[in-house]
Amino acid sequence: MNTMATTRRPTWLVALLATLLGGCEKAIVLGRGGERGSGFATVETFQLEPGQSAGPTGAAAAASGRVYLCGQATDGAGSSHWVVRMAESAHGPFTTVDDFQRTAGSDATATAVAVDAAGEVWATGNADAPRRWLLRRGTAAGFSTADDFQLAEGEDSFPAAIGAAPGALFLGGSGADGASVSHWLVRSGGAPPWPVSDDFQLAPDRNCWGESLRWSASGLYVGGSCRDAAGRLRWLVRRSIDGGATFATVDEFSLGDDDAYVRDIGVDPSGGVYVVGRADSPAGWRWIVRRWTEGESGFSTVEDFQYAPGQNAFASAIAFDTGGRVYVAGRGADGAAVTHWLVRVSADGGRTWAIADDFQLAAGHDSAADVALAGGSGELLVAGTGSDGSSDQWVVRVLR
């Protein structure tokens, strides 16, 4: 089981889902609650206060099967709370185990969560303005802040991902320097203060953001987006094979001169590395999946998808089941530009894909998936946001 989870800077137009379907793509009929026929069922909808938006951004599972979700939820005064929710299994019920603001009334968001080998829970996120990069540790006694960081004091820092490896934590994100230019950052170590081990820009004085990371036997992979010297935003993957001491770029991608963004990285049981995200094009955003396996010279695109021609689509997260199937969750707009929560599945290593889940919390209103997780007991969980017509709800769906 991989106890590492990835997340990205929260975007509440985004959400995500995962599901099982081992066969061909099917025509599916809209059913109750805006749900189309699939093996997924909704196990939770959540708001901190009724009518106030909420959404998850990260997930992790313990070996026991316990599942943690993190994200943000807005209170009645309009300020965001850092929220971590827990359940004994992916099927729930979930309860809030950390509801946090660094400064009362000031926005806070938990962006990623991980469980280490000792069973301790670590959540990272941002709080206050300018944004501070925080790390909170969960034990039986509750959560407490273990680290509080800015690359340059008084400038925004945004954590996006966290991973637990033997004896160390890896933290990925970005931080602005004194000139307000963002740097791609990886921080690592076994204890505070988790020093910076990769401080990267693709071109000098150009913004760069780390968005995801994944620890595996073949190395530590970090994904994100960086502007080149011409100002174009490039999809970027960097790898460390020495435990995070040094990094090298292993993939740089875009469709022509348009922007491209990495959102998540996954490693399948055979060691194949998958990277998912979005590439802009003249015909709108395209859902992109790229893969590298041992013996190949580099990454190649195995999925380039739009739900409806010319309408935006965005892959946000990836997970794998015990049968070797690959699930990619994200969003895609239909011909009326209404966003659907989508999960696509491949049973042949990414050569062919089919829709496994097509969901809207309320028919005709936006829904999006942003988190996918293979739970410690083997369940597939997808979490994201769904509009009920008036506000966004935190939604959890699990493969039946």
370 phi and psi, to 5 degrees? -130, -5
Specify the pLDDT at position 67: 96
Specify the pLDDT at position 400: 76
Q: Report the distance separating Cα 104 and Cα 11, nearest Å.
A: 23
Q: Which two tokens stand for residue 379?
A: 């369940």
- Give residue 111's domain range: 5-399
Q: Which residues contact 296 (CB under 8 A, 6 or more apart)?
A: none
Supply the CATH number for residue 67's domain.
2.120.10.80
Under a CB-based contact definition with an 8 Å cutoff, are residues 2 and 317 in contact? no
Number of Cβ atoms within 10 Å of the Cβ of 142 = 10
For 359-393, b/e burial (b = at least 16 CB within 10 A) is bbbeeebbbbbbbbbbbbbebbbbbbbbbbeeebb
Cis amide linkage into residue 204, ω under 30° from 0: no
What's the burial of 301, exposed, middle or buried (CB within 10 Å: 0-12/13-18/19+)?
A: middle
Give the angle 166-216-394 at the CA atoms, nearest 5°.
90
Number of Cβ atoms within 10 Å of the Cβ of 193 = 12
Q: Report the distance separating Cα 348 and Cα 29, nearest Å.
A: 26
Question: What is the 3-state composition of the chain as percent helix, strand, coil, each rounded to the nearest 5?
Answer: 0, 55, 45
Number of Cβ atoms within 10 Å of the Cβ of 147 = 21
Q: Report the distance separating Cα 184 and Cα 210, nearest Å.
A: 5
Ramachandran class of 193: left when φ > 0, alpha when ψ lies in -120 to 50, beta otherwise: alpha
Under a CB-based contact definition with an 8 Å cutoff, are residues 264 and 161 in contact? no
Domain count, the chain: 1
Distance, CA of 361 to chain centre: 20
159 closest CA partner among 58, 48, 86: 58
Beta strands in 150-246 (DSSP E): 157-165, 168-176, 182-189, 196-200, 208-216, 219-227, 233-240
Specify the pLDDT at position 38: 59
Return per-residue pLDDT of the chain as tens, 400 residues.
333 343 333 332 233 222 222 222 222 222 223 444 459 999 999 999 999 999 999 999 998 999 999 999 999 999 999 999 999 999 999 999 999 999 999 999 999 999 998 889 999 999 999 999 999 999 989 999 999 999 999 999 999 999 988 889 999 999 999 999 999 999 999 888 899 999 999 999 999 999 999 988 889 999 999 999 999 999 999 999 999 999 999 999 999 999 999 999 999 989 999 999 999 999 999 999 999 998 888 999 999 999 999 999 999 999 998 888 999 999 999 999 999 999 999 999 999 999 999 999 999 999 999 999 987 667 899 999 999 999 999 999 999 7
Q: Give me the DSSP letters along 278-337.
A: EE--TT--EEEEEEE-TT-SS-EEEEEE-SSTTS-EEEEEEEE-TTS-EEEEEEEE-TTS
Specify the pLDDT at position 23: 26
Q: Report the distance separating Cα 206 and Cα 203, nearest Å.
A: 6
Specify the pLDDT at position 264: 98
3-state secondary structure of 32: helix
